[in-house]
Amino acid sequence: MIALVRSELLKLRTLRSTAWAAAGLLLITLLAAGLATGDAGQKGLRTPAELRETVLAVGYAAVFFLAVLGAIGTAGEYRHRTISQRFLATRARRRVLLAKLATYGIVALGTALVVTAVAAVLGEAVASSKGYTLGLADGGLRLTAGIAVATVLAGMLGVVVGALTRNPTTAMVAIFGVWIGEKIAGDLVGDAARYGPFALVENVLGLTTPLAWGSAALALFAIMAGLGVLAQRVFVSRDVT
């Protein structure tokens, strides 16, 4: 398993999409933390909780970036048939899927911690220059934990979506389609809307609080695990040649 994870990490380091995703997320982090907190003192950006929402916005961006990266990285192997070589080298396809989940989980965790640290430090510096604070001593731990857990689960969910769709474009449509669908159907399905994957992501981040933090994280993990089992038993086992 360790060798499989190492090979996945090596693949990520050599993909141009990884570099572009990292550059894009860094740019969003700097813009969100620097420009948004530059408005500290205006309506809606005065209390520490309100100012921390600028860091949460960065976390939400990280969620999307990792979900898309995981989906494209996995689906792309099917699209270009390189997954065949991996399955020939490792005949236990379940181990390949688990290695991908572990790899993107590790990458997502590292990404979440880095962007949170950058956004928090920069945001605090800008806010303090205007006489305000993000109150990281009180809310920093919950902020970091929420972004880390949400990003890890999003990256793993992206892998599952990629395995289910086997096509990068279809995977992208599925991810953003579900997000848009949740926003549109939210008022129609009532309380059931809180259990949608992106509604749970927002709950874990702390943007909304219809469920307890731990309950939302467990529900999101259950969705990812359930789809992962479906992907492994129905789609991953199919012929790819």
What confidence tens digit (pLDDT) does each residue in 67-89 have? Answer: 999 999 888 887 777 776 666 66
- Contact between 222 and 154 under an 8 Å Cβ cutoff? The reply is no
Look at residue 152 in the predicted model and tell me its pLDDT: 96
Look at residue 231 in the predicted model and tell me its pLDDT: 83
pTM, whole model, 2 decimals? 0.88
Look at residue 241 in the predicted model and tell me its pLDDT: 52
The string over 181-217, giving b where at least 16 C-beta atoms fall within 10 Å of a residue's C-beta and e elsewhere, is: ebeeeeeeeeeebbbbbbbbbbbbbbbeeebebeebb
Look at residue 204 in the predicted model and tell me its pLDDT: 94
Rounded Cα gap, residues 33 and 212, in angstroms: 27
Own/partner long-range contacts of 173-182 (Cβ < 8 Å, ≥24 apart): 174/71, 175/64, 175/67, 175/68, 175/71
Measured CA angle at 229 (ends 8, 97), to 5 deg: 10
- Contact between 145 and 206 under an 8 Å Cβ cutoff? The reply is no
Closest among 140, 141, 151 to 220, alpha carbons compared:
151
State the angle between helix axes of 197-205 and 168-189 in degrees (0 to 180), rounded to the nearest 10. Answer: 80
Rounded Cα gap, residues 77 and 74, in angstroms: 6
Is residue 42 helix, strand or coil? strand
The amino acid occupying position 226 is G
Is the Cα dihedral 25, 216, 200, 234 positive or negative? Answer: positive
What is the radius of gyration, based on Cα positions, of the chain? Answer: 19
- Contact between 59 and 120 under an 8 Å Cβ cutoff? The reply is no
- Contact between 157 and 151 under an 8 Å Cβ cutoff? The reply is no
pLDDT tens-digit profile, the chain (241 residues):
777 777 777 777 887 878 888 888 888 888 877 777 766 667 776 787 877 888 888 899 999 999 999 999 888 887 777 776 666 666 677 778 888 899 999 999 999 999 999 988 888 887 888 777 778 888 889 889 999 999 999 999 999 999 898 888 999 999 999 999 888 887 777 778 888 899 999 999 988 888 888 999 999 999 999 998 888 877 655 555 5
The amino acid occupying position 115 is V
Closest among 172, 4, 171 to 86, alpha carbons compared:
4
